[in-house]
Amino acid sequence: MKVGIINVTGYAGVELARLLHQHPQVELASVTGRSAVGQSLSQVFPHLADIKLTIRDRLGDVELAFAAMPHKESAREVIPLFERGVKVVDISADFRLKDASEYQRWYGFSHPAPKLLARAVYGLPELHRAEIASANLVANPGCYPTGAILALAPVVKAGLVEIDIVIDSKSGLSGAGRTLTLPTHYAEANEDVSAYALEGHRHLPEITQELNLLEPSGQQLSVTFVPHLIPMTRGILTTCYATLTGKKGIEAIRKLYRDFYQDEPFVRVAGTPPHTKQTWGSNFCLVYPTIDQRTGKLVVISAIDNLVKGAAGQAVQNMNIMLGLPEATGLESLAVYP
């Protein structure tokens, strides 16, 4: 099976190249990258010296494509591929939201193919595996939503929390991409932690969309989401706070989580609060639920590598499901430590 990457020169794209090169069932046959057209992949990324490909301006003949373009630009690349019958995993936000009007509000553009949103499947395998298996277009989740939704899905689906939820996430700088910006310069970001997008982050509608689908009462959840930048390269640590609807003890909550994720290859319910370094380079999400005994509040912590489970690794996981391959193929690597 020949696969290709649109925009291999971004962080998600280059991570995809690394993962696909070691995948035993597919061939990385074509890559594009406007800033490096005509150069070999190894010239731009010396650590990928074993991949003998030249970066092109157009994708060659492939059966499945990964689109790693920025939002708005990705849809323009995805639509003609989809119409030609090429399977697509889109890593941008362009097909994640079901309500087309949300794109103008959160991303500042009118969606060019609103009817296609209904045909795109939200690519969180733990919630939508069956739909992904029959999909031709999968919208890979955002990094923040991946950690937040996996942290909260068991209790929201069970109807065990009130509608008011607070999500606090801290991300490494690679989540901002390779484009140079002042806040991500070393001297600005080093030895500094900052909150941003306090008026509403564009990943918020994605989080609420998926959690509302799980809420058994049909009530709309009230989610407060505050992201932070941390001076590290990879990783997202998410801490979620919610009020329990009943008197569930900690052991019952942890059993609920273990049962919910018992057959999931890439979600592990941790025995201690997880660290981001415990996921570095792997496709795992570590989840740790607990209860604040003083207040009775539920506190759930999750940790992921934002470039793997939060982007490229989850994209490969989705590809495996779409192609009928064992889900963990090419993703078996453990985390790198220290």
Beta-carbon neighbour count of residue 168 at 10 Å? 17
| Number of folded domains that form the chain | 2
pLDDT exceeds 90 at position 175: yes
pLDDT exceeds 90 at position 180: no
**Region 114-143 average pLDDT:** 98
The verdict on 188 and 98 lying in the same domain is no
- CB-based contacts of 301, cutoff 8 Å, min separation 6: 151, 237, 238, 239, 240, 273, 274, 287, 288, 289, 290
- Percent of the chain having pLDDT more than 70? 100
Name the phi and psi angles at 53, rounded to 5.
-135, 145
Answer whether residue 319 is part of any domain: no
The verdict on 157 and 91 lying in the same domain is no
Q: Which of 283, 287, 285, 264 is nearest to 334 (CA)?
A: 283
The verdict on 157 and 275 lying in the same domain is yes
Answer whether residue 133 is part of any domain: no
Answer whether residue 202 is part of any domain: yes
pLDDT digits (tens, 9 = 90+) for 255-303: 999 999 999 999 999 999 999 999 999 999 999 999 999 999 999 999 9
Q: For residue 213, how many C-alpha atoms fall within 13 Å in the half-sphere facing its CB?
A: 13
Q: Which of the four pLDDT bands, split at 50, 70 and 90, describes residue 94?
A: very high
Give residue 8's domain range.
2-119
The verdict on 93 and 202 lying in the same domain is no
Token pair belonging to 71: 């939002």
pLDDT digits (tens, 9 = 90+) for 216-267: 999 999 999 999 999 999 999 999 999 999 888 999 999 999 999 999 999 9
Answer whether residue 278 is part of any domain: yes
Q: Which of the four pLDDT bands, split at 50, 70 and 90, describes residue 116?
A: very high
The verdict on 161 and 278 lying in the same domain is yes
The verdict on 154 and 301 lying in the same domain is yes
Chain-centre distance for alpha carbon 136: 18
- From 143, 149, 151, 237, active-site residue: 143
| Per-residue pLDDT at 26 | 98
Report the CATH number that the domain containing residue 285 is assigned in CATH.
Answer: 3.30.360.10
Q: Where is the domain boundary, 102, 119, 136?
A: 119
The verdict on 97 and 151 lying in the same domain is no
240 is catalytic: no
